[in-house]
Amino acid sequence: MLSFASPKLAPRLSVFVRSLLPIPLVLALTLLLRCGGPGPALSEGGENIESSGPLTTLRVHYPAGSHHLSIRGDSGGLNWSADAALDDAGGDIWTYTTRAAAGALHWKPLLDGSWSIGPNYAANAGDTVDVYPWFQSQSGSVVRFDNWWSNDLQNSRPIWVYTPPSYAEQTGEQYPVIYMHDGQNLFDPNYAFGGTTWQVAQSMDQGALDGSIREAIVVGIGNTDNRIWEYTPNDSLTGYTGGGAATYLSFMTDELMPQINQGYRTSTDRLDTAIVGSSLGGIVSACAGLWRPDVFGLVGVMSPSTWWHDDWIIGAVQGTASAPVKPARVYVDSGDSGDDGDGDPGATEDDATLTTQLFQAYQGVGYIDAEHVIGQGDTHTESAWARRFPGGMQFLLGGRANQ
Residues 6+ apart with CB under 8 A from 271: 297, 298, 328
Shared domain for 224 and 246, answered yes or no, is: yes
pTM over 0.75: yes
For 14, 208, 211, 214, 249, the CA distances from 394, given in Å and listed in that order, are 70, 11, 10, 8, 25
Q: What is the rounded average pLDDT of the residues 302-327?
A: 97
The range of the structural domain enclosing residue 20 comes to 1-39
Residue 44, domain member (yes or no): no
Residue 403, domain member (yes or no): no
Residue 46, domain member (yes or no): no
Q: What is the CATH number of the domain that holds 155?
A: 3.40.50.1820
Among 18-22, 77-81, 182-186, whose mean pLDDT is lowest? Answer: 18-22
The number of beta carbons lying within 10 Å of the beta carbon of residue 369 is: 14
Shared domain for 112 and 171, answered yes or no, is: no
CB 358 within 8 A of CB 282: no
For 13, 182, 209, 243, the CA distances from 17, given in Å and listed in that order, are 6, 85, 62, 94
User: Strand 121-124 and strand 69-73: pairing?
Assistant: unpaired
Smallest CA-to-CA distance from 128 within 160, 96, 154, 106 is with 96
Residue 217, domain member (yes or no): yes
- Total domains, the chain: 3
Report d(CA 258, CA 220) in Å as an integer: 15
Residue 402, domain member (yes or no): no
Tens digit of each residue's pLDDT (9 = 90 or more) over 94-141: 999 999 998 899 999 999 999 999 999 999 999 999 999 999 999 999
Phi and psi at 270, nearest 5°, equal -65, -25
Shared domain for 246 and 281, answered yes or no, is: yes
Tens digit of each residue's pLDDT (9 = 90 or more) over 210-262: 999 999 999 999 999 999 999 999 999 888 999 999 999 999 999 999 999 99
Shared domain for 317 and 194, answered yes or no, is: yes
% of the chain beyond a pLDDT of 70: 85
Shared domain for 240 and 285, answered yes or no, is: yes
Domain boundary among the residues 131, 157, 192 is at 131
